Structure 1
Amino acid sequence: MFHHRERRARTPAHETALDCLEAGITAALPKEVVSSTVDLDGKTFAVGDAAYDLDEYDRLLVLGGGKASGGFAAALADRLGSRLDGGAVVTTNVDTAAAGPIDVREGDHPTPTERNVQATAEILERAGSATGETLVLAIVTGGASALWCAPATDLTLSDLQRTTDALLASGASIDEINAVRKHCSAIKGGQLARAAAPATVVTLAISDVVGDDPSVIGSGPTVPDASTFGDALAVLDRYDIRDSVPESVVDRLERGADGELAETPDENDPAVAENEGDWHCLANGRTAIDAARDVARERGYEPLVLSSRLGGEASEVGRVHAGVAAEIAAGGDPVERPAIVLSGGEVTVTVDGDGTGGPNQELALATALELADTGTDAILASVDTDGIDGPTDAAGAIVDRESIPPDESETARRALAENDVYDALDDRSALLRTGYTGTNVNDLRVLVVPAAD
């Protein structure tokens, strides 16, 4: 999975860290997830505790989006076989050969492009063809908010591109970003379900959102939206980016806040309310953490799950992990060494510089500097489970107290301050590369504190 793995697995502890990461990512792959959560027994389609009699429907469609939606579509096509009538999904890496009758379209992430718009238009067209006798399986995975791109009638693709870039650079959380996206879109915030009404819409999600809020994952295309135009405006003001987004976007949000435009579907809208109980989260960050914990135990380490819901500034979270490692090494709290501390969630970066890097890379570099300062013998491996950390070709990085030599410490600190950590880590062979993994359940971190010498 990891390119040039042998260079990163230079000690048994480093190897264990990589094994934990690989197990976590593999457990969240759509093929594994569908195999363990979805079943077809004769005429009955079952997911979780819910069951659907396919004889009650004359068509079964799959409509989806997200970085994992291609593999998700292929797994569903394999499981449903001849019962499936077709569908369309938009993803970042296309493998159409295995998706049966489901058309897999390629889009771009995180900034949408024209091919996102074309693919989303196809998905909305298919949704619009649904009837009361259609069962729609809406698959939603991380990255769907960008890959599903349907500009509202008074906006353009360029408007959404500039708005997306401003939001991503602002340090806003994913729910804040999506509050804006929903009110600039014709598919987000319950509007896919509205387009498919009166069909039965069953949502199958692989969550990349801390807490698995259905209205945040993929910007909640099939569920009620509690956010408003006023909330979206408040995000622009909170991060002082009104001047960074197009005037057309600000004008739309202001008109909506003044009541001139209809809000996204809320809990009283029958198009989403009737399907509210048909939303199923099949995998999330905890899925990856649990698999990594099993590997830790197998290797003789005492595992501790710090949290699957960590957020905040990446460099600060990295320093916290270094502090936890130092405490374990010094006194055996909160767990005796040899220990592995696991965490997940989604950290963010407030961009002040103009360099290259990503949240997991910044977290790793901050951890490495802190481990060096305290002389703590520990390894930290941190990745985005989709294989793409920020706008780079790296999934994240693996570091220890020797990753940054003393004579390079100040240069590394400047790189961190300038959001330019990619080269600093690449020069030390610390970057981890996988390419697109085929899943997306947020960040996964493995902190290894080996036994004392």
Structure 2
Amino acid sequence: FCVLSGGASALWTLPVAGVSLEDVQAVTGALLGAGATIGELNAVRKHLSRIAGGQLARALGPARLVTLAISDVVGSRPDVIGSGPTVPDSTTYGDALAVVETRRVNPPHAVWEHLRAGADGLVPETPKPDQRDVRPHLYCVVADNLVALRGAEAAARDRGYRTLVITTRLEGEAREVGSFVAGLAVSVLHDGLPFGPPAALLLGGETTVHLRGNGHGGRNQELALAAALALDGVPDVLVASLGTDGTDGPTNAAGGIVSGATLPHGRDLGLHARDFLERNDAYHYLEATGGLLITGPTGTNVNDVVLVLARSSDVGTNVAAAEIRPGAMSQVSRDEGESQ
């Protein structure tokens, strides 16, 4: 049996000869900072590993294999989850080299030399789907983003909201996605689309961030701050974005929660949200305005969850008013998590 979950690519690696773990860490960090997708990132990591990209299955030879996977990637592709150690690899050294070049990162010399040698045919490729290196076997995705979204949907419905799961494939630049999500909230309030309040819209996936400044934060916090900018002064709406593993970027927060009151509160404190966003410093803005969501590690990862809540001013008592205040919502979430 092979059990995979989020983080396998980073935690379970055996670098190829001539490439150190520090080299792999360096190119990984550079690609993340350049906004690389998980598919792009894993295309590179597969070709710097002696385990990933079907190489574990090839080493096991004729052994009977069963893979159980918890998916933390959009689309739950087996060759991307955990960099696909037990399934054939659809990417090539040429693809990996193209990612490095397209994202304009400067990897360690050893990484560059290895990828170039592979692209030139001087290093054996990872097992491919049209080859017989990897024996067919049972591969089961036992949990994914949709499981988390359905759970959140049930909780929202129990609180009196009309609910809709919109997608599990949310991708793109975090700040742009934040503006889009804010637009969904306004559409519910003013257009009754997809239906009127009380409404809970749920989206899942994984956005990316291009680092422009030296601030502190993560993709979910950046998405939330961008949503706050678009919701400035809009009443009766809330947007929350969080990582299901309880961590977002190199911070102690899972993500952020904002409403139309977030920016006015920030201005009262003398803070300019746009400046924080431009230097990728969503953490400190949300910390000051009560918009950080801190859950602690959850022990699993099925991508990110984005929640849009909208209620009318005359909403009934079954929808708590605290749910439209970021600080209160954060505390409610922590208290409920502790009680469970």
- Normalising to structure 2: TM-score of the pair? 0.89
For residue 430 of structure 1, the aligned residue among 291, 297, 300 is 291
2:77 and 2:136 map into 1 onto residues whose CA distance is 18
The CA deviation string for residues 205-232 of structure 1, in whole angstroms up to 9 with x for no partner, is 0101111111001000000001000000
Shift in Å at residue 409 of structure 1? 7.8
Equivalent runs, 1:2-81 vs 2, <5 Å: none
1:231 aligns with 2:95: yes
Are the aligned partners of 2:61 and 2:135 in contact in 1 as well (CA < 8 Å)? Answer: no
1:328 aligns with 2:328: no
Equivalent runs, 1:242-391 vs 2, <5 Å: 244-275=106-137, 278-373=138-233, 375-391=234-250
1:193 aligns with 2:57: yes
Equivalent runs, 1:99-118 vs 2, <5 Å: none
Partner of 1:451: 312
1:400 aligns with 2:259: yes
Q: Which amino acid aligns with 1:296?
A: A
State percent identity of aligned pairs.
Answer: 50
Shift in Å at residue 410 of structure 1? 6.2
Please, which runs of 5 or more residues in structure 1 have no aligned partner? Answer: 1-136
2:240 and 2:4 map into 1 onto residues whose CA distance is 27
The CA deviation string for residues 304-325 of structure 1, in whole angstroms up to 9 with x for no partner, is 1121110001111111111111
Q: SS of the counterpart of 1:184?
A: coil
Partner of 1:173: 37
Are the aligned partners of 2:236 and 2:312 in contact in 1 as well (CA < 8 Å)? Answer: no
Cα gap change, 1:409 to 1:211, in 2 (>3 Å): farther
1:195 and 1:392 map into 2 onto residues whose CA distance is 37
Please, which runs of 5 or more residues in structure 2 have no aligned partner? Answer: 315-340
Partner of 1:43: none
Q: Which amino acid aligns with 2:109?
A: E
| CA RMSD across the alignment | 1.4
Q: Which amino acid aligns with 1:267?
A: P
1:207 aligns with 2:67: no
Are the aligned partners of 2:235 and 2:261 in contact in 1 as well (CA < 8 Å)? Answer: no
The CA deviation string for residues 361-414 of structure 1, in whole angstroms up to 9 with x for no partner, is 0011111121115x2420111110000101111000111111222456862111
Shift in Å at residue 268 of structure 1? 3.8
- Normalising to structure 1: TM-score of the pair? 0.67
1:344 and 1:266 map into 2 onto residues whose CA distance is 30
Shift in Å at residue 450 of structure 1? 1.1
Count of residues in Structure 1 that have an aligned counterpart in Structure 2: 312
Q: SS of the counterpart of 2:289?
A: coil
2:37 and 2:258 map into 1 onto residues whose CA distance is 26
1:325 and 1:226 map into 2 onto residues whose CA distance is 39
The CA deviation string for residues 250-276 of structure 1, in whole angstroms up to 9 with x for no partner, is 11111111111100011244342332x
Q: SS of the counterpart of 2:232?
A: helix
The CA deviation string for residues 176-227 of structure 1, in whole angstroms up to 9 with x for no partner, is 0000000011111001112222211111001011111110010000000010
Are the aligned partners of 2:161 and 2:197 in contact in 1 as well (CA < 8 Å)? Answer: yes
2:298 and 2:91 map into 1 onto residues whose CA distance is 32
Are the aligned partners of 1:395 and 1:432 in contact in 2 as well (CA < 8 Å)? Answer: yes
2:235 and 2:51 map into 1 onto residues whose CA distance is 49
1:221 aligns with 2:81: no
1:273 and 1:267 map into 2 onto residues whose CA distance is 10
Q: Which amino acid aligns with 2:254?
A: A
